[in-house]
Chain A
Amino acid sequence: KNEVEQSPQNLTAQEGEFITINCSYSVGISALHWLQQHPGGGIVSLFMLSSGKKKHGRLIATINIQEKHSSLHITASHPRDSAVYICAAPNNNDMRFGAGTRLTVKP
């Protein structure tokens, strides 16, 4: 069993839809990261959160430490949100990654 599991693996949505990507982890962590990777490879760190909820524009990330679960939500999705979203769990000085969720938002 992977230490960090994401679902779904692939997601296709129509512009304007509400998107949810889930991440479950089994390692002990101090914080969880959500990353965005566009074609071409560059990775952008969207959120780092250790409790509760964070919001940035149309993006919302939540985490439940007791249940070891985090979600990334995108409201009013747009084609430019199309990317791979990866959750990452630092474990000591290591980082464990989910396999990523490939999101495609169609106009």
Chain B
Amino acid sequence: TQLLEQSPQFLSIQEGENLTVYCNSSSVFSSLQWYRQEPGEGPVLLVTVVTGGEVKKLKRLTFQFGDARKDSSLHITAAQTGDTGLYLCAGENTDKLIFGTGTRLQVFP
């Protein structure tokens, strides 16, 4: 069974701080997506990474795919209260997504 472990599970920080969320697996994925989910809503796609070692930037968010395509990280610079939410990584395996355990981020003003 493929598993994606995310750490930390919960994170509470002050506005302006930096943070990193990790997504680790023993399996190789053809691609990896990061989603953000708000309460009562569906996951919203943030980014897709495909190539080992790939780095993608989305404003204050930086996503990295591990060289072996087994792990990924999400780094947020100068967090804002609007970044609060549940962050999910998801590895693609023959068209279906295997979701990580999630990181619940709370940013306080």
Please say whether chains A and B are actual partners in one complex: no
**Interface residues, chain B, with chain A CB atoms under 8 Å away:** none
Which residues from chain A sit less than 8 Å from chain B, CB to CB? none
